[in-house]
Amino acid sequence: MTDTCFALVDCNNFYASCERLFRPDLRNKPIVVLSNNDGCIVARSAEAKALGISMAVPLFQAQEIIDREQIAVFSSNYALYGDISARVMSLLEQLAPATEVYSIDEAFLDLSGIGACQPLSQLATNIKQQVTDWTGIPVCIGIAPTKTLAKLANHAAKAYPKTGGVVDLSSPARQQRLLQLLPASEVWGVGRRIYRRLQAYNIHTARQLACCNTSWIRKEFSVTLERTVRELQGQSCFNLEELPPPRQQILCSRSFAKRITDYPSMHAAICQYTARAAEKLREQGATARVISIFIRTSPHSHTGQYYSPSGSHRLTTPSDDTRTLITTAIKLLDSIWQDGHRFIKAGIILTDLYTPGHFQPTLFDPPQRHNSKALMDTLDRINHSGLGKVWFAGEQLTRGWQMQRNKLSPAYTTRWNELPVAKL
């Protein structure tokens, strides 16, 4: 057994909760949030789930029940969700000794040793209440000696209302009871493919998986699943990652609101995606040596042949300069572009990433652009100030091909002219 203790804090129906935050008229009303281009349902409030709205169903298939039940529909407002998430995570960092932000709506807290000072369930209840009071976002909390068990505890906190949104699995007896109730497919890291293989060995519940011989699991499956089994047995194998590991690649890709058939529009799209990818690259403090782009038509189109070309180029020296990356991306576009197609999607991928100063150039490599870092720093500072925006000419300001977001809520927290106003 282990002396570690983790808590997983998970925001309830996060996207829907963010949309409801500044709309008290939607309290206890069903809400759905749509994917890019308003295509599919990607988030649902508890009320929408109770009405039978399925995840990832196309909007048009659910339109009848949406109209009948007067379900509120929103386009994805990533600026709002990101800002509210930052507020929740900032608060959690103040309430625990160490925090790992696992996703936009989940965070692991390290509560090791705190149980000796106060009951963990009471501490979690206090954290839950404070997050709701200070941010308006409801959360559930699962507590356990390992991260995998904390995930299951959080699942139980959501699934069983009588828990009050908090489940403490510090007790081995409680762990075994919950493991017996849950299928192995609910275990963190057990996907559908692995679950089907487990079923072939007559392993159906989480408890049956926890009882497996770890050497056999390693031999038949993988080291990762072996660690998962050890975690189910109460042995902590996955440490808290206070700093997220650097990404091995950066992708910027979007589907278009309407098909692109002309080169100038695709040129603008590639320029815009490259500029955004370069910004992400600098945020990570990295440079990229390999640039890849792809463009594709719809595989389900009845008007023409499916066309999905791609291209890559390796720079002599890694770079984070938007100008260098855009120039390279456009050369790649020129090499794969063909007229006569209706393109539905495009994207850019930056790989072979380096921390600045860790790449050793040769004597004959061309020098970097003059004042590149100062210019990119200035560009990012202006674009993040909220006071103005700088674009590269190739991005164009008129973009009819951009994402369709017809049901977008206001930027309540990130734009002065869209702040909510209380009428007295």
Identical fold between 6-11+90-232 and 250-395: no
Q: How confident is the model at residue 422 (pLDDT cuts 50, 70, 90)?
A: confident
Predicted local confidence at residue 410, as pLDDT:
86
Tell me which residue of 81, 104, 96 sits closest to 10, measured CA to CA: 104
CATH 3.30.70.270 fits 6-11+90-232, yes or no: yes
Write out pLDDT tens, residues 122-162. 999 999 999 999 999 999 999 999 999 999 999 999 999 89
CA pair distance 309, 231, nearest whole angstrom? 43
Q: What is the DSSP string of 293-349?
A: EEEEE-TT-SSS-----EEEEEEEEEE--HHHHHHHHHHHHHHH--TT--EEEEEEE
Q: What percent of the chain has pLDDT over 90?
A: 56
Segment 385-411 mean pLDDT: 75
Tell me which residue of 46, 234, 241, 229 sits closest to 150, measured CA to CA: 234
Q: How confident is the model at residue 257 (pLDDT cuts 50, 70, 90)?
A: confident
Write out pLDDT tens, residues 182-205. 999 999 989 889 999 999 999 999
What are the boundaries of each domain within the chain? Answer: 6-11+90-232, 250-395
Biggest alpha carbon distance in the chain?
70
Q: Residue 76: is its pLDDT beyond 80? A: yes
CB atoms within 10 A of CB 50: 10
Kindly state the tokens that stand for 421: 């106003």
Beta strands at 72-74 and 31-34: parallel, antiparallel or unpaired: parallel
Question: CA 261: distance to chain centroid?
Answer: 31
Lowest mean pLDDT, pick from 260-264, 299-303, 391-395 = 299-303
CA pair distance 266, 272, nearest whole angstrom? 10
Write out pLDDT tens, residues 46-59. 999 999 888 888 88
Pick the CATH number of 250-395 from 3.30.1490.100, 3.30.565.10, 3.40.50.620, 3.40.50.970: 3.30.1490.100
Q: Residue 109: is its pLDDT beyond 70? A: yes
Question: CA 81: distance to chain centroid?
Answer: 11
Residue 229: CB partners within 8 Å, gap ≥ 6? 209, 210, 212, 214, 217
Segment 407-411 mean pLDDT: 85
